[in-house]
Amino acid sequence: MKAATVWTWGRRAWRAGLLVGLACGLWGFVIEPRRLVEAPYALVLPGWPAQCDGLRVDAVSDLHTGSPHNGVERLDAIVARLVASDSDAVFVAGDYLIQGVWLGQFVAPATIADHLRPLATRKPVFAVLGNHDWWDDGPRMRAALESVGVVVLENQSRRVMLRGCEVWMAGIGDFWEGRPDPERAFADIPAGAPVLALTHNPDLFPVMPPRAALLVAGHTHGGQVNLPLLGRLVVPSQYQDRYAIGHIIEGGRHLFVTPGIGTSILPVRFGVPPEISRLTLNAAPPRPSPH
């Protein structure tokens, strides 16, 4: 092959690579962070009572209000989607705030809570705090949420009635900053009662009491960037990809990790769009009786 031909093909390859890089950058820094998908999941839970079969829960996490593409207008759009949903309750798994996100702007807890008010006045909203909330002022964030009707559970439980289903909600403090105490959170729950648990960081899953039919968490952002061949680039977990995203079953126990809404550190999402996780909680079919 002549040198001129090699040079021509090399230049074309360089240009193609540059275009692909620019397209990926545009997608990751501009387009995908602005998306909002509603992803349905049907979870069959062990020991889930028949009267609770089909219970619908919307799960969101890591709103990071103030991160790029996630101002209060975006929060209003998310709230509108959650209000319009047919869910029986909403779980919010922490990190309402941001600190140190490039091109981000801090939004006060009271402002965030005020924009969540229309949701809390229409359906039950259960929440925990995340590490970013504690890094700012955890009690202030909690007080702001509770002032608009959000039920915040930090190492606490509460019996609730959702569409004729009596269930216990347990909230466990953040693994990094919230002094998690699962034993305290479950202390008042009667034996055999159905339990849905909520926390921020899924690294708590291995020490969760098996009494929980499901633990819902966030924190990981699904890795925030998920590239072909390379996989999820940064998962803030001591277990790496093990609890990065989605429905995980270990030893008969169930965890669901929602990939979140906002961004942290860098305002980029690639292959992990912002998501409202729409969970349908189903009872396992009865086992056939032996003949």
DSSP string, 186-205: HTTSPTT--EEEE-S-GGGG
Specify whether 173 is located in the same domain as 250: yes
Same domain, residue pair 23 and 70: no
Indicate whether 291 belongs to any domain: no
Are 143 and 14 in the same domain?
A: no
Give how many domains the chain has, as a whole number. Answer: 2
Is 265 a member of any domain?
A: yes
Neighbours of 54 (CB within 10 A): 14
pLDDT of residue 3: 58
Whether residue 276 is found in the same domain as residue 260: yes
Backbone angles phi, psi at 38, to 5 degrees: -115, 105
Which among 94, 63, 60, 92 is positioned nearest to 200, based on CA atoms? 94
Q: Does 141 share its domain with 233?
A: yes
Residue 103 has a pLDDT of 82
From the first residue on, what is the mean pLDDT of each consecutive set of 10 residues in the chain (291 residues)? Answer: 56 59 66 94 95 97 94 97 98 93 89 98 98 96 98 98 95 96 96 96 96 97 90 90 97 96 90 97 77 54
Q: Are 204 and 215 in contact (CB under 8 A)?
A: yes
SS (H, E, C) 111-135: HHHHHHHHHHCCCCEEECCCHHHHH
Tell me if 53 sits within 8 A of 277, measured CB to CB: no
* pLDDT value at residue 254: 98
Quote the pLDDT of residue 22: 63
Give the range of the structural domain holding residue 6, as residue numbers without chain letter. 1-34
Residue 289 lies in a domain: no
